[in-house]
Amino acid sequence: MANQNKGLTRIIKAGGYSYQGLRAAWINEAAFRQEAIVTLIAIILAFFIDVSVLERILLIGSVVLVVILELVNSAIEAVVDRIGTERHELSGRAKDMGSAAVLVAIILGLFTWGTILWHHFFA
């Protein structure tokens, strides 16, 4: 049977699924809550810092990337846990790589914020 959801209906349903995913991450993932709160604070702060539009986009984008990758990491962990609870090398590798992606994004965010703030306030 062909997918009956087309056009606006598909977009509305996709939005609902996205909301469910964000809600599930907020309820079930402490790391997501922490990173989302830090991201919200950073976004607000980015609008009070006297930087160019491009620099503001980099500041905001670098912290939003952390939240995006945390969602992907949480999805990977949920799928791996759904498959089974026994320890398996590939399951551990998948979880570790997802976690590493979040760490790399955090380092990028810190580098971006540090570089832009240093340039504007100390250089």
35 carries a ligand binding annotation: yes
Q: Which of 53, 46, 56, 22 is nearest to 36 (CA)?
A: 22
Q: Which of 63, 92, 68 is nearest to 80 (CA)?
A: 92
9 carries a ligand binding annotation: no
85 carries a ligand binding annotation: no
95 carries a ligand binding annotation: yes
115 carries a ligand binding annotation: yes
89 carries a ligand binding annotation: no
The length of the chain is 123
Q: Which of 58, 66, 69, 70 is catalytic?
A: 70
What is the rounded distance in angstroms from the CA atom of residue 5 to the CA atom of residue 26? 28
Task: Tell me whether residue 70 is one of the annotated catalytic residues.
Answer: yes
116 carries a ligand binding annotation: yes
- Residue pair 116/55 in contact by the 8 Å Cβ criterion: yes
* DSSP type of residue 47: T
71 carries a ligand binding annotation: no
Residue 68 sits at φ, ψ, to 5 deg, of -60, -50
Supply 42's token pair: 């950073």
Q: Binding site for ATP: what residues are annotated? A: 10, 17, 29, 77, 86-88, 95-96
Q: Binding site: what residues are annotated? A: 10, 17, 23-26, 29, 31-35, 56, 70, 77, 86-88, 95-96, 99, 113-118
> What residues act catalytically?
70
Q: Binding site for substrate: what residues are annotated? A: 10, 23-26, 31-35, 56, 70, 99, 113-118
